[in-house]
Amino acid sequence: MPAKKSVRQISKTKKKTTVSKRKNKELPVSSLPEKVPPSEIAEAEEFDSREKYMSIWEHLEELRIVLLKSLSFLGVCMTVTLFFSTDLYKVMVVPYKNVLGADAKFFQIKLMAPLVIYLKMSFLISLLISLPVILYLVWGFISPAVSQATEKYGRLIIGFSTFLFWAGIFVCWFTVFENLLKVFLVYYNPPDVENRLPVDEYFDIFFNFHIIFGLSFQLPVVLILLGKLGVISGTFLAEKWREATIIISIFSAVFSPGPDVTFMLMLFVPLEILFLISVFIMKVSEKNRDAGGV
């Protein structure tokens, strides 16, 4: 049972309440604090200007708008690339003509091959150009559901991934593809065989190997994301660098465009450099996280 209050304690509390009432009467009405409902206080504390409180149908409508914008941008890119398709064709056959001479010709097997080549070339180039924009639009739809730090990190990853993909394409264009054609069309060409390619086969080889190099250069993005998710760590990769080097060499041997060791090294060397850069970035990120950073 709680102890009963004494007469002195009761009188003290009465005096305090009377004094506080007098003070409140002396204050003007505007200076008195207004009572804010607890629900409004909670909403003000949890409010995030990026969040959108919508129903499921409103979310679907916003997603539909994002998809329409993405397809519209892709369609505009395809229209432009189709308009300049002849010029793009001349650029893409430069490695072939550098190997076999300026007067080198293709030959056609399938009736629809030229039309299919123009459409495929236009679509793939438009997709490569518009993919970063599409990813930014989709990330803008998803980002209100994540923290602001994650939103900035996601945009950085999209830009970094795009840069690496185009870097892989440029490496393939300037160092690998023309040498590949030279090996198979000149060095290993049997006698009495005309060294010409079907036009559709040439463009299939062209796009396949450039896309392989572009995707291979996504290695740092994959490793950094796995590090952020806690699957692997930079310290673990630094300790297992020998095993990682063997895996990269096997990957390069399987996916290199030619049988020669030179072609394997053309893919192995950039991937090994990217692996070391990824380990360095992961270790710096882990150090900042342990120190209380982001």
Confidence class of residue 51 from pLDDT cuts 50, 70 and 90? low
Tokens representing 279? 């380990």
DSSP-derived secondary structure for 104-156 = ---B--STTHHHHHHHHHHHHHHHHHHHHHHHHHHHHHHGGGS-HHHHHHHHH
Average pLDDT over residues 196-211: 88
* Mean pLDDT, the chain, whole residue set: 78
- Residue 41 has a pLDDT of 45
Which own/partner contact pairs does 206-212 have at CB distance under 8 Å and 24+ positions apart? 206/92, 206/177, 207/120, 207/124, 209/172, 209/176, 209/177, 209/180, 209/257, 210/168, 210/169, 210/172, 210/173, 210/177, 211/169, 212/172, 212/255, 212/257
pLDDT tens track for 260-289: 677 778 788 888 888 888 888 888 877 877
Identity of residue 161: S
pLDDT of residue 47: 45
- In this prediction, residue 190 carries a pLDDT of 75
pLDDT at 7: 43
Burial class (CB in 10 A: 0-12, 13-18, 19+), 24: exposed
Q: Which residue has the higher pLDDT, 72 or 109?
A: 72
pTM for this one?
0.70
Highest mean pLDDT among 70-79, 175-184, 243-252, 269-278: 70-79
User: How large a percentage of the chain has pLDDT more than 70?
Assistant: 79
Q: What is the predicted pLDDT for the residue at 80? A: 93
